[in-house]
Structure 1
């Protein structure tokens, strides 16, 4: 894939996820300067703010599954503030988006540090997610509970 294609893919992933948050009744904004947050998600009536980092990949097809590869900066993952980042991993497979894996920064860091999820090299962690029959795995660990986990983004009725 070319760098230009990856830019289009990444933006398409951001917009797909933004539309899901909008459908849940949350407002969304793209920061003017990207220093680790791709999307700000806001509950308008009370100002609740969520920070989101979208990671997008094309798929690699397997016999009964597909996978996607994602890189996350170790520095960004370890830099947990009072508003943790929610990582959203989404794969473009057969001209459709996979169901997103949504995981809070501290949970992903815990999986990395304590369960050997992902592989670190040169300041980045590579995560390989495999999707099969409604399940998601990364480094042999079950991540199915994080598929479409909008727990921190409850539906807002307007």
Structure 2
């Protein structure tokens, strides 16, 4: 009986050591359960770097975010260099943000949200969420981001495109 209790404690301790970030990184979710979330994001050809973080939301849910810096030059390769320079002029950072929820024990992971965020040098953030983004990334398809017309971070006199929404 004592041995069984010890083994049970060890199993619970081992499960507790796996944090929510690791749970998400190793999770296998739709649209392709043959790869982990980490593998799907790491193999996407338009990401340069991925940062992971975890927090608890106001409802007590454990949220994990993957912030993936976009290689804008590779993603917008059909845009001329002068056009790309104009589009990037007032942009501090372009990234993809994927949010996941970790529920229960054993942990279940589900995708919560996927969006492209352009952070402007002015401090403004333009965000566009689309449920198709995560599927496209899993399939290594090019996602169309804001590449043209210098509208990524419009100056004070210009209005943002109707598709763009303020970030959180």
- TM-score exceeds 0.5: no
> Between Structure 1 and Structure 2, whose CA radius of gyration is higher?
2
TM-score (norm 2): 0.31
When you count strand as a share of all residues, which structure comes out higher? Answer: 1
